[in-house]
Structure 1
Amino acid sequence: MPIWINQSDGIQEISVLLFDRFSNYCLANTVEPMRAANDALGRTAYRWRLLSLDGGPVTSSSGMQLMPDSKLSDMPGGDALFILPSYAYRTYGTPACLDALRAAAHRFETLAGLDAGSWLLAEAGLLNGYNATIHFDEFDRFSERFPDVMAHRERWIIDRNRMSAGGATTAFELMQHLIASTHGAAVSIEIAGLFMQGGDGAGAQSSRTPGDRRVQRALALMRDNLEAPLTVAVLARAAGCRQRDLEDRFRRTFGATPRTVYRQLRMAEALRLVRDGDLSIAEIALRCGYSDPSAFTRAFRTTHGHAPRNIKV
C-alpha cells in the first residue's frame, strides 16, 4: 500500500504530470473523484496541481489547451505524482524526461502511471521489480519491452509505492479505491452514485469480482434501512449467501466488514442531514438508527472529527 492513502487526518497533495495529447477523460476521472471527496467530507482532504515538464501549456487529444500550475522540477514533492501521457507517449521518453522522472521519484511518496504512463515509468527504470499494468492495447509491447517489470493484464495495480491504471475508466476505479481506503466505503459509494459509476461503488474491486450482486443487494438493503439497521445475518440471507460469505465479499470489495460499511453509510447520511440544518440532533439520530442522541453524537464525532453542532450548515 502506498503511504499517502492512509493519511486520513491530513491533506493529501497530488500532482498530475501532463503531456501533449493527454486524455481529458482520464484527467477528469483522476481529479473529479478527489473534488467530490472534498465535497462529501466537507473539508479539503485532497489538493492537486497540474504540471508539465517545462511549465508550458499542454494540449489534450481533443485540442483543448491547458495551462499547468507549475513545471515538474519546481515541485518540491508531495504524496503522489500521476504521470499522464495518452497518445504519442513513446516519443516523450527523452533523456531529459526520464531524468526528470527519476529525480521526482526522490521527492514524491508514490508514483502512478495512468493510461500509458507506465511506459515512461518503465523506460526510466522506475518499475523494475514492480507489478504494473498499462492500457490493454499496449500490453504485449509493454511486457516484451520491459522484462524487468512484472506486467499483468489488470485494470489497475498497487504495488508498494507504485500504482498503475490502464485507461480513463480504470483511473476512476483506482481513485475510488484510494478514497475508500482512506475515508471509508460510504464516501466511495457516494462518489460512485454522483457519477453513476458502478452499482456498488466499489470501483475496480468490483470489476475484479464482476457484478457481485450479493454485495449490491446488501448495500441496497443497508441504504433502505438506515433508521432500523438490519443484522449482518439478515443482510446475508436477503443477499442469498451465508454471513461468512457476505463478510468475505465485503472485505474483498471494500476492505471492510459489512457492519463497518453499514455504520459508514449511516454516518454519511447523518452528515448530510446535519448540513441540511432542518432537523434536530435527536431527529437525525433516530433517522440514522440511534435511539440515544448521546451515542449518536459520540459515533458522529468519531467518524467526522467534530460533534454535529460544530458542523457548518
Structure 2
Amino acid sequence: MLFESFSNHCLANAIEPFRAANTIARRQLYDWQIFSLDGGTVTSSSGLPVATQSWTAVRPEGTFLFLMPSYGHARFATPRMNQVLRAARKRFSMLAGLDMGAWLLAAAGLLEGRRATIHWDEFNAFAEAFPDVAVVDERFVLEQDLATCGGATTAFELTLELIKRHHSPMFALEVGALFMHGDRQNLHDPIQRMSSDALVRSASTLMRRTIEEPLTIPDLARHLKVDLRSLEEKFRNEMNMTPLAVYKAIRLREARRLVELTQMSIAEIAERCGYRNTSAMTRAYRLEFGEPPRAHRKGA
C-alpha cells in the first residue's frame, strides 16, 4: 500500500528480493499487487509516478501487507485508514510497516504492548506519541503477525529475513548475493564481535571471491581473523550448515549459473568452480540439483 511521497527506494527493496527469489527458484514463489487507498497514480518523494489499484480491488486476503508511507505520514493516520488496517489484520497473515509505516499501525491501535521500530529520524517522536508501544532501536522487528523497519536498506534486510524463514538460509543467501548484499569486506573490523549474520555474509563474500581456487576452512577463518570454532558456531547458528557445506553450495550454484547461461564446456565449468575433475563436479551437481549438468543444460 503506497502513500503520496512514498520512498521508491523502499518499494524496490521490498519487491526486488521476492522477484529474485522467483528467478532463482524458476517458479512463482511470490506475487504482489501495488495499491493505494483510492487507486490511481501515486507519486514518490523523488517524483516517480506509480499506477496503483484501489484498496477495494485487492484480493480478499494475502500473506503480507506492506505499508509504505514516508513524508507527511501523520496526515494519513485518519479514522478511515485505522478502520482499513484493523480489517486488514484479519485478511493478511502479517502487516508490515516500512519507513514510517509503524506510525499508521500504532495509530490504528495495532502495536499496543508490541515491540516496533521506525525510521530513525522520527524515533523519539514516535516513542512520545505512542507510549504503549515498546519502541526499540533495531534495524527491523519481525514477529509472527507484525513487522516494522526503519527505511530502504532495512526493508531489504526484512524481506531477506522473510525469504529465509519461509525457505532456507542458503536460499536467502543466494538471493542476497544477486544484489551484492554484504559484498564489501573490511578485515580491519572487529569480526569476532560481529553478529552471526554479519560474519556469515563476510565469509560468504570471501567464498564467492575464491570459487576457482577454494580456501580450506581454516584458511578462511584466518583471512577473516576469527578462530575456526567461532566461525563454525556462527554458521550453525545462522545457516544450520557448516562453512564447508555453504562453500560447496555457493560453488555449485555458480556452476549451475554457468551451465544455464553460457556455452562453456562442463570441464571448463568444473575448473572455474574449483573442482579438480569433471566427474567430481558432476557427482556433486547431481546430488545438489537432482540431475547432471549436461541434462540440466539440455532441459534449460
TM-score range, shorter chain: 0.7 to 0.9
Is 1:297 the counterpart of 2:286? The answer is: yes
> Residue 259 in 1 paired to residue 239 in 2?
no
Change (3 A) 1:270 1:169: same
**Residue 80 of structure 1 corresponds to which residue in structure 2?**
64
> 1:192, 1:252 → 2: CA distance?
23
TM-score (norm 2): 0.81
Equivalent residue number for residue 10 of structure 1: none
- What are the Cα deviations for residues 71-97 of structure 1, in whole angstroms up to 9, with x where unaligned? 256321111110001011111111111
Q: Which amino acid aligns with 2:120?
A: F
Find the residue that maps to 2:34 and give its secondary structure.
Answer: strand
What letter matches 1:272 in structure 2? R
How far 1:283 sits from its partner (Å)? 5.4
Q: Does 1:190 align with 2:190?
A: no
Equivalent residue of 2:27, what SS?
coil
Q: Is the 8 A contact 2:160 2:172 kept in 1?
A: no
Task: State the shift of 1:53 in Å.
Answer: 1.2
> Is the counterpart of residue 41 in structure 1 residue 28 in structure 2?
no
The alignment status of 1:271 with 2:256, answered yes or no, reads yes
Aligned-partner residue type, residue 179 of structure 2:
A
**Map of 1:247 onto structure 2:** 232
Residues 112 and 198 of structure 1, relative CA distance in 2, 3 Å threshold: farther
- Give distance in 2, aligned partners of 1:159 and 1:65: 32
| Structure 1 segment 87-166 matched on structure 2, within 5 A | 87-166=71-150
1: CA distance between counterparts of 2:55 and 2:207? 46
* Rounded Cα–Cα distance in structure 2 between residues aligned with 1:110 and 1:264: 31
Which SS does the other structure have where 1:19 is aligned? Answer: coil
Letter of the aligned partner of 1:60 in structure 2? S
Report SS of the residue matched to 2:160.
helix
Residue deviations 1:94-144, cap 9 Å, x none?
A: 111111111111111111100000010111122223211001111112112
Higher-Rg structure is 2
Q: SS in structure 2 opposite 1:57? A: strand
Q: Distance in 2 between matches of 1:132 and 1:222?
A: 35
Contact 2:35–2:58 under 8 Å retained in 1: no
Mean Cα deviation higher: 171-180 or 246-255 = 246-255
- One-letter amino acid of the structure 2 residue matched with residue 293 of structure 1: T
Q: CA deviation at 1:217?
A: 5.7
> Using CA pairs below 8 Å that are at least 6 residues apart, which structure has the higher relative contact order?
1
**Correspondence for 2:35 among 42, 46, 51:** 51
Change (3 A) 1:244 1:52: same
1:25 positional shift: 1.6
2:188: which partner in 1? Answer: none
3-state DSSP of counterpart to 2:90? coil
Distance in 1 of aligned mates of 2:53 and 2:174: 28
One-letter amino acid of the structure 2 residue matched with residue 179 of structure 1: I
Separation in 2 of the partners of 1:34 and 1:179? 8
Task: State the one-letter code of the partner of 1:39.
Answer: T
Stretches of structure 2 that go unaligned for 5 or more consecutive residues are 186-190
Residues 108 and 215 of structure 1: CA distance in aligned 2, closer, same or farther (over 3 Å): closer
Distance in 2, Cα, partners of 1:129 & 1:263: 44
1:62 maps to 46
CA contact (8 A) 1:222 1:229 kept: yes
CA 1:220–1:95: 2 relative to 1, 3 Å: closer
Q: Secondary structure at the match of 1:56?
A: strand
Distance across 1 between alignment mates of 2:198 and 2:116: 29
Q: For residues 143 and 27 of structure 2, what CA distance do their matches in structure 1 show?
A: 29
Q: 1:88 to 1:119 in 2, by over 3 A?
A: same
Matched, 1:223 2:192: no
Report the Cα offset of residue 280 of structure 1: 4.9
CA contact (8 A) 1:214 1:241 kept: no
Provide TM-score, normalisation by structure 1.
0.78
What is the CA-CA distance between 1:307 and the residue it aligns to?
6.1
Gaps of 5+ in 1: 1-16, 201-205
